[in-house]
Amino acid sequence: MAEKPPQPGVDLDRRQFCCPVCLDLFREPVTVPCGHSYCRGCIEECWQQVEAKARRYSCPQCREVFQSRPVLGRNHILAEVVAKLEGTSTKKTSPSAGLTCAGPEDVACDFCCKTSRNKASMSCLTCMASYCDSHLAPHYRVPVLKMHQLVSVTVPLDKKMCKKHNKLMEIYCQTDKICICYLCTIDKHRGHRTISAKAERATEQMHLFVHQTNVQKSLQEREHELKELVQALEDFKAFPALSTSCESPALPPSAVVRPRESMEAVSQFVCNVKDKMEDLLNDIWPSLSTKVSAVNVVLPPVPKSRGQFLLYSRSLTLDVKTVDSYLSISEDQRRLTHSGYNYYGYSDRFQSVKRVLCREALSERCYWEVMWKGSFCAVAVAYENSKPLNDLAFGNDDKSWSLECSKNGYIFRHQYNEQKLSGPQSFRIGVYLDYKAGSLAFYSISKTMTLLHKEKTTFSQPLYPGLGLKKDDSTNSYVEIMKLW
């Protein structure tokens, strides 16, 4: 009997939807003004600690400071994704699912009765027990158990328990720098400065991030100094020429000023400096290269939903200095329309495509959306030194990438090559640029977000978003950068 084909479903990674403070799935996710998201309880607890001190509110991840305490709004899109993720986890957690036996270094399930117990995947801080995927299922299904607090298994629960009071150690004593339970605060640690363990962990993560950034910056400075030393060493190789005589037999003796002292002393001094620099280079380079190679730069995950893409939106405006004379820009400098001048009669079909660039240069992650109406538009990115605007349409050189949209479909254009694309017809196009990763993607936006084309390359200069428009019979044709910020 033939096997049934696998049913399509949602494949989500739990780690991408975990709060940076509690490191667990978001509980009532909220987004702060800088764009980062947290559990409402986690971020409010962090800011309550701030209120007791300097009353300066900032994001625990990017450290952006806010003038006043921001009003937290529920992130509905993220909440729906987390709910879908929990539903998917419930379906996957079944007795028939593949389970792993716990090894010597693993935390075993407390509810497995067989001789070889399964490896636990989650711990319940309410039940004070660890569960494998099979025995965890009721926590996703039973309404009462859904209210329990689940965390990923990192260490056995007994190591999180206070040995004196047998209570969960969820408080951090800043005076003694240890984790304690709530009974310890009225016993041995009475009067000490305390904070929640989650808030302390968020603070330590922020300090670790700042330290890693400073170390990386210091290593880059040392590497730059090392390159200067190498260049200086190369320059010193020309210095032996100084020991040659400055006299020329073709000149009369009176025309040359003879040096009073020999250049041998200077040459010897330069040789000594050269030897010291070589010794310094040999001593520093091995340790420096080891430290540089040990620094790992972790890039954020690639967005998977429109809500995540919107976190990278930024303000874009059209540059009037680059607009063609046959086009006009709206007062808010986001919409491009025809100026009304008739320029029919061009023999080259590319000449009728008029274009304009934005003011903003992009060299990081960025997302924007474009709305168009009419028979044609071009959505593109280009280098600043792309060929003159009246010579070529976007994509007809090696310095620009263009998606052409029309009622007949989509065409991607680059280096004079064109590629016809398939996808749902839409008058709203999303563009996602990951400059450092060398990725450029175009999406059709309707009720869903559909990938039309993704280009992988290496960008050598900052990119400028661009728009292109053709003259048609419609008087209402336009292309506009949507305001997402």
**What is the structure's pLDDT at 195?**
86
**What is the structure's pLDDT at 158?**
77
- Residue 336 scores a pLDDT above 50: yes
Return mean pLDDT, the chain.
79
Residue type, 408: N
**What is the structure's pLDDT at 352?**
63
- For the stretch 386-445, pLDDT in tens is 765 455 688 888 999 999 999 899 999 999 899 999 999 999 999 999 999 999 999 999
Residue position matching structure tokens 């696998």: 6
DSSP states of 94-145 as a string?
STTS---B--TTSPBPTT--SSSPBBP-EEETTTTEEE-HHHHHHHHHSHHH
Q: Where are the domains of the chain?
A: 95-139+147-160, 216-244+264-291, 306-481
What distance in Å separates the CA atoms of residue 480 and residue 379, rounded to the nearest whole number? 10
CATH of domain 306-481: 2.60.120.920
- Residue 38 scores a pLDDT above 70: yes
What distance in Å separates the CA atoms of residue 412 and residue 380, rounded to the nearest whole number? 10
Weakest-pLDDT range from 78-82, 352-356, 367-371: 352-356
Q: What are phi and psi of 260, to 5 degrees?
A: -70, -30
- For the stretch 230-245, pLDDT in tens is 887 777 767 555 444 4
What distance in Å separates the CA atoms of residue 361 and residue 463, rounded to the nearest whole number? 5
Residue type, 101: C
Confidence grade of residue 198 (pLDDT, cut at 50, 70, 90): confident
Length of the chain: 485
- For the stretch 251-293, pLDDT in tens is 444 444 444 445 677 777 778 888 877 777 777 766 666 655 5
